[in-house]
Structure 1
Amino acid sequence: MRKIYGMLLCMLISTMSFAQNKKAKDTTTQKTVELNKVIIIGNVKTDPTHSKVSNKYDENIIQPKNVADLFKNINGFSTIKRGNYAIDPSFRASQYEQLNVQYDGGTKAMHACPNRMDPITTHIIPEEIAKIEIIKGPYTVRYGTTFGGIINMVTKTPGIDDYGFHGNASFGYEDNGNSISNMLALKYASEKYDFTVNGGYKDFGNYKDGSDLEIPSSFRSTDYGVKFGYNLSESERVQAHWRQSFGRDVLHAGLPMDTDYDNSSILSLDYKKEYTNSKVKSLSSKLYYSYVDHLMTNFKRPNFMMVEAESGVEATTAGGKIELKIVPNENWQLYSGLDATYIGREGNRNRLVKIMNGNPLPMPMSFTDKIWQDSQITDIGVFTEAKWFASNSTIFNFGLRYNAVISDIKDPAVNFAAMYDLEKRTEGNLSGTVSLKKVISPDFTLEIAYGRGVRSASMVERFINHFTVGQDPYEYVGNPNLKAEVNNQFEIGFKGKKDLTNGFNKLTYSSSFYYSFFENYIVGIVDESLNRLYMPMLEPRHPKVFRNLDEAYKTGLEASMKLEFMDNFFLKADIAYVYAKNKDLKESLPLTPPLTTKLGFGFEKKKFWANATFNLVCKQDKIAESFGETYTKGYETLDIRVGLKPIKNITVGLAAINLFDQTYNDHLSFSFNNQSGLGRVPINEPGRNLTAFLQYKF
């Protein structure tokens, strides 16, 4: 641990020393340095394999429970739900560590719970997000290990248009669950410095599905954040961001335990220096640290009468990055740097067994189970990425990255140590990308891309020891000898627009087609040579052990269209489909979403807007039976939102989500687990939900 902190400190000192020794030319037109940009596209304004989605919170008219809710309306995304709180994004059938989820260009907070009760999406206020930047595959090497894509959530920072003191306060209510959401943000900005302070409180109750079945899903959360930025000069900026999140009394319908508390703290420090009249154009660096303290128990579950269980787990994440942008001539841009991430987890489960094999024990027996076995992973990467502007309409992009991944386990359980040679392990991973972007005309852009993304096994896949961490009831056993997972992804995408006449204003459209073949794909496979460790008489008797597969692939597409007409009206359509195949087991890869279509109609003016979205989701019969998946029926829902600004600085909104009160479940949602009167069947989504929203800006 001291080594990683020492390395990060050296990175920061080197950054500051370099900046002080480099003389930047004065300029009266230099704007404030922006720290959080991720997607750099040169002189091309459209980018088929990248996208940026603004978070128009006051127009969504529904209170996001956490950041994962913001992905629901982004084409190609699905969400994995275990209840109403622990929600993960899934993109093109990639999820969890297959996606590089971060915010503000690199800050990370890894979950402490092996069942992902506390993913990074629960540690950030959704109202704090200004935009979400997405790189749709392994098409860059600049932002850490990239297997299935990068998601960068950019938080709000005051700009030149926000000079002075500003703020906003909002209140939201949902009738399905009698839920409330409050948020207050204050900010001040000047030419020299700016700061933002925000806080939020959410109290969500159990919701009901379309058949009036109550889903145990209540939770409370309190969050606050402080961000301070200081402009050392017109071309030099430092920024500090501190935030904490406190989850309380979280019910997880799809997991065997509930969260008593989940406390997280995240600190990040950013520095950037821009130069003029020099081949070195900018120097940027980041340091971050996060700590998650999590307690889960089964005290409200039916098996509490047999065994009392509580698990206190902790996760520490620390990292940093330093990057140089070099422009040797007008046709080339080079980005080179070093980044590092450290993840450490520890914690045990304490059990008090009161009934064994159906017989009450005269004296309850206590056990301690090692969850994380005091495991650590350190990932150090070096990278270079180049953009060649071959002409005003053609850009080539090349990137190469090498990662050294060091994994270690400090306190292994006896049975786990007997299975493996647990010496410290070092892996070397090589990733790369090449792409061509061509502006065919001012209104049409084409891109062809290839990326090789390499991901070493996660801590769960390496070191979990007989815990149920999947959607199925199997115990899972880690494998510290797993090979790194490789995604070879090819993609062709285009974007275009066309100005229209006769009452029609503009047509915009885009599409992406991709194919990936995987090497060493990681899945859990039943090992009949091993027996269940906990409650050994229960089925299934044999656990799953994580293994590498030889043959797996996926292919799919996304397409979007928007027609604007009569100045204020629009029609839009989004479609996303992915097909994934596990050729070794002759079934689909797990967590593959079905064909999804969204049709929208809306009206937009400055002080009033309204829209309706029809969600059409097909059945999913291409399933991974070995993963415990079952056939999922298709469904259709209708959402309606209306918003207005009756007076200056006031926004009012009303919405009806799932207007026709349909009973349905998403294919990626977990099933009920350890719930009274509820078998292991998929968790249904909320029925009709009427919401109200009020925001005041000052």
Structure 2
Amino acid sequence: MTPARSLLSLAITAALTGTSFSLAYAETTPQTSPVKASESGLVIEITKGQQQEILSQSLESVQPAPVTDGGELLKSINGISGTRMGGRAIDPIIRGQKQTAVNVLLDGAYLHGGCPNRMDPPTTYTAVDSYDWITVIKGNRTVQYGSGGSGGTVLFERKWPSFSDKPVTGSVSSSYETNGEKWELAADVAAGSDQGYIRVIGHTAEGDNYDDGNGDEVRSAYQSQSGTLMAGYAISNNTRLQGSFEKTEETDVLFAGAGMDSPYARAENIRLKLDHTFTEGSLKTLKAELYRSDVEHMMDNYSLREFTASMKMDAPSTSDTQGGRLVLTGVTNRIDWLAGFDLQDNTRNANQQLPTMMDKIAGIQWPDANIRQIGVFAEAEKAINGSNRLKGGLRVDQVEASASRSDEAFTGGGLAGKTPEDLYGTSKVKQTETNIGGFAQWSHNINALFQWDTIVSRSVRTADATERYIATSKWIGNPELEPEKHHQLEGILSVNMGAAKGSVSGWMNKVDDYILRSNVTGKDRYTNVDATLMGIEAEASHRINAKWLFSTQLAWIQGENDDNGEALSQISPLELRAKARYLQNNWQAGLELVSAAKQTDVCLYDDTDCGGQDVRETPSYWVANLDARYQVLDSLTLDAGINNLFDKAYTLHESRNDSFNPDPVQVMEPGRSLWLKAHYSF
């Protein structure tokens, strides 16, 4: 397989029970190892507790249709949903938790979006075909990828290419969708050998407004371009150095679920990685990584839409993140272990400006907000006997948060003369925290068929820049927020009977100081409350014979504010997926049915007793999707399909709305869409 993959060489570690690589696996397959080969072009690694299996399947097993970004791909996985504001920028939600409760790393680097309203979550800057490997870790079962991550962790990764006997390898792919006339073109070319390589990746995409199932046009157009230059050099047989530069630009992005659109968003990422393997002693590997991610973003309410507001307004913003990590792994007394430290430093600036009044400042969304986190961590894993294995980890983080412009006065609008501190009601904007988290996992092989896993954990999520420091007339932060403390318990039962496989997971998350956004007399404010989240995820698959494969997935989540007994906002309803796939020689076809129950456990924005983020009780729905693939040549594949076959009109419950709109609505999902994909590798 080439570094550009047969269709897309992507590996997704995603079990419905929540997944992660085992420590032993991470040691034997470091980040610099070649991308694994698969006849169908996709390797899906599923880890059920400590039980790992590798299934070689085509991309259809995850999401056969084209996706606009990483967030849209992730919401195809059981237990993961997404927030939609337009045609792009799907913000992933794992187990009812979103935004900074989900750690997203782009090839080892943190990138925090430039929009206070989440028009550009980190997954926006992921051209899916430019990555080789995606790991999804549900819940808290590792401490090595940064603080927080109580909902989960998602790793988008690129690997050291494998060249075999060809000095140059690559691929070209393209797709088109009828609804919204969306198209994309991608190229990925690498040249080199095991001693070193140069890799160039390019991606461009464009879409117009799509129609929903009622035939109504939804403002969702976008343009996107990205380019990546990577290079690697083997300093010795045991030491490799890699570097990369990546630039992404989004232009003319429309958002039906917001009061503004985005004329542009730009991101630049620089990464440097060093990997070393020790040949003697208890030390096994050393990894050192440095990165810098800079984002510029603009949103306004007039340049890309008919101006109907009372006043023109725009909001230029920046988000700059730099950091790094150092990790050692080893084996001592038959105990696999890793230890390391990491640093993440993010600074954000954003003004709400009045362009017709010489850009006077009507609000400061990020007043030069800086959050610095320094963490140390360690994990260990040991096989007690042939049936039992223990694993655990501990993490300590020191957090410093400040806002150097919090005493700056607004110069225009109804807040003229006031400062962010006046809105907060406090001048104590600088805060420090010492946060301690960890986990323990017991894996027990009941017999040759069944395995049981128990995971207990504590993770601490510090308030982000928006929750602490946003300062506008209708949206106000709270610098004195306590960090969230998540205490989770999960039980997993897995079964592997060869042709039939399945697992069931039940989990509960008791949260102290949950950070709640609520509507208080027409203004959105943040407070700490106690909360409980719980859920069940189940999955089963059965290969009837060489031609037929059936699978089904179920996810249920419930969230409650323990302080007042109200439901938490934007919690997914019960969802069921069923898939059937037929394989015959060089072609295959699939049918997927997706059904969601009505969501009645809501906290409505206009409910004075609740004041949550939900627009309404969302109706139930079901949709059907068809797809097919034809292997024309070993190096050429063609895919086609129909999304939303029966042109259903529906919304995801979590989809965004403009909360400050007098008549807010959820953003409708696309109606029927025919699509085509082609991929050629060389």
Distance across 2 between alignment mates of 1:446 and 1:270: 37
The corresponding residue for 1:394 is 388
Amino acid across the alignment from 1:610: A
Paired position in structure 1 for 2:542: 563
Distance 1:586 1:512 in 2: 25
Among 305, 311, 316, the alignment partner of 2:315 is 311
Taking the aligned partners of 1:479 and 1:637, their CA distance within structure 2 comes to: 41
Preserved CA contact (<8 Å) 1:303 1:674: no
Is 1:664 the counterpart of 2:644 in the alignment? no
Shift of 1:138: 1.6
Aligned partners of 2:298, 2:195: CA distance in 1, in Å? Answer: 43
Deviations 1:61-87 (A, max 9, x none): 422111111113211011111111121
Which of 323, 328, 351 pairs up with 1:324? Answer: 328
Shift of 1:297: 1.3
Point out the structure with max Rg over C-alpha: 1
* Residues 1:693 and 2:677 are matched in the alignment: yes
What does residue 140 of structure 2 align with? 138
* Counterpart pick for 1:245 among 243, 248, 254: 248
Q: Scaled by the length of structure 1, what TM-score is found?
A: 0.85
In the alignment, the residues of structure 2 paired with residue 576 and residue 181 of structure 1 have an alpha-carbon distance, to the nearest angstrom, of 32
Q: Which residue identity lines up with residue 539 of structure 2 in the other structure?
A: S
Report if aligned partners of 2:162, 2:194 keep a CA contact under 8 Å in 1. Answer: no
Contact 2:33 2:159 in 1 (8 A): no
Aligned to 1:22: none
How many pairs are equivalent? 623
Write out aligned runs for 1:175-324 (5 A): 175-299=178-302, 300-304=304-308, 306-324=310-328
3-state SS in 1 of match to 2:384: strand
TM-superposed deviation, 1:304: 5.0
Structure 2 residue matching 1:122: 3-state secondary structure: helix
Whether the aligned pair in 1 keeps the contact of 2:32 and 2:159 (CA below 8 Å) is: no
**Cα distance in 1 for residues equivalent to 2:104 and 2:360:** 38
2:481 matched to which residue of 1? 482
TM-score (norm 2): 0.87
Aligned to 2:130: 128
- Counting only pairs closer than 5 Å after superposition, residues 92-111 of structure 1 correspond to structure 2 as 92-104=95-107, 106-111=108-113
Whether 1:507 and 2:500 are equivalent positions in the alignment is yes
Task: Please report how far the alpha carbon of residue 455 of structure 1 lies from its aligned counterpart in structure 2 after TM superposition.
Answer: 0.6
Q: What is the Cα deviation at residue 593 of structure 1?
A: 0.1
Per-residue Cα deviation, 1:51-106 (whole angstroms, up to 9, x for no partner): 899995588442211111111321101111111112111111011001111133x3
Contact kept? 1:46, 1:495, Cα under 8 Å:
no
Letter of the structure 1 residue corresponding to residue 243 of structure 2:
A
* Equivalent in the alignment of 1:472: none
Counterpart of 1:159, as a letter, is: S
- Answer yes or no: is the 8 Å Cα contact 1:88–1:119 preserved in 2: yes
CA distance in 1, matches of 2:552, 2:59: 21
Deviation at 1:235, TM superposition (A): 2.0
Aligned residue type for 2:650: Y
Residue 652 to residue 62, structure 1, CA distance change in 2 (3 Å) = same
Counterpart code for 2:612: F
Alpha-carbon distance in 1 for matches of 2:438, 2:28:
33
Aligned equivalent of 1:405, options 399, 403, 410: 399
> For 1:53 and 1:92, how far apart are their aligned partners in 2?
25
Partners of 2:561 and 2:51 in 1: CA distance: 27
For the pair 1:115 / 2:138, whether they are aligned, the reply is no
Q: 2:571 aligns with which of 582, 592, 606?
A: 592
Structure 1 counterpart of 2:581:
602
Q: Percent identity?
A: 26
User: For residue 627 of structure 1, what is the aligned residue in structure 2?
Assistant: 612
SS at match of 2:446: strand
| CA pair 449-75 structure 1, distance change in 2 beyond 3 A | same
Task: From 643, 654, 678, give the equivalent of 2:629.
Answer: 643
The answer to whether the aligner puts 1:430 opposite 2:436 as a matched pair is yes
Report the counterpart of residue 42 of structure 2 in structure 1.
Answer: none
* Paired letter, 1:48: G
Q: Output one character per residue of 1:609-655: Cα deviation in whole Å (capped at 9) or x when no partner.
A: 11100001111000112214110001010000001112231111111
Residue of structure 1 in register with 2:363 after alignment: 369
Letter in 2 for 1:558: E
Change (3 A) 1:162 1:182: farther
SS in 1 for 2:72: helix
List aligned pairs for 1:348-367, cutoff 5 A: 348-352=351-355, 366-367=360-361
The unaligned stretches of length 5 or more in structure 2 are 1-26, 35-44, 409-417, 605-610
CA pair 251-651 structure 1, distance change in 2 beyond 3 A: same
User: Judging changes above 3 Å, is the alpha-carbon distance between structure 1 residues 78 and 33 closer, same or farther for their aligned structure 2 residues?
Assistant: closer
Distance 1:365 1:201, change over 3 A: closer
Is the partner of 1:292 in helix, strand or coil? strand
RMSD over aligned CA atoms reads 2.5
SS in 1 for 2:155: strand
Instruction: Please give the per-residue CA displacement for 1:557-597, whole angstroms capped at 9, x wherever unaligned.
Output: 11111100221211100000011111223211111100000
CA deviation digits over 1:489-525, x for unaligned, max 9?
00011222114xxxxxx10111211011110001124
User: Displacement of 1:303 after TM fit?
Assistant: 4.5
Q: Quick check: 1:544 aligned with 2:546?
A: no
**1:643-691 CA distances to partner (integer Å, 9 max, x unpaired)?**
111223111111100000001111011136799xx94221110000000
Q: Equivalents in 2 of 1:58, 1:599: separation in Å?
A: 13
User: Structure 1 residues 410-419 or 74-83, which shifts more?
Assistant: 410-419
Distance in 2, Cα, partners of 1:56 & 1:246: 30
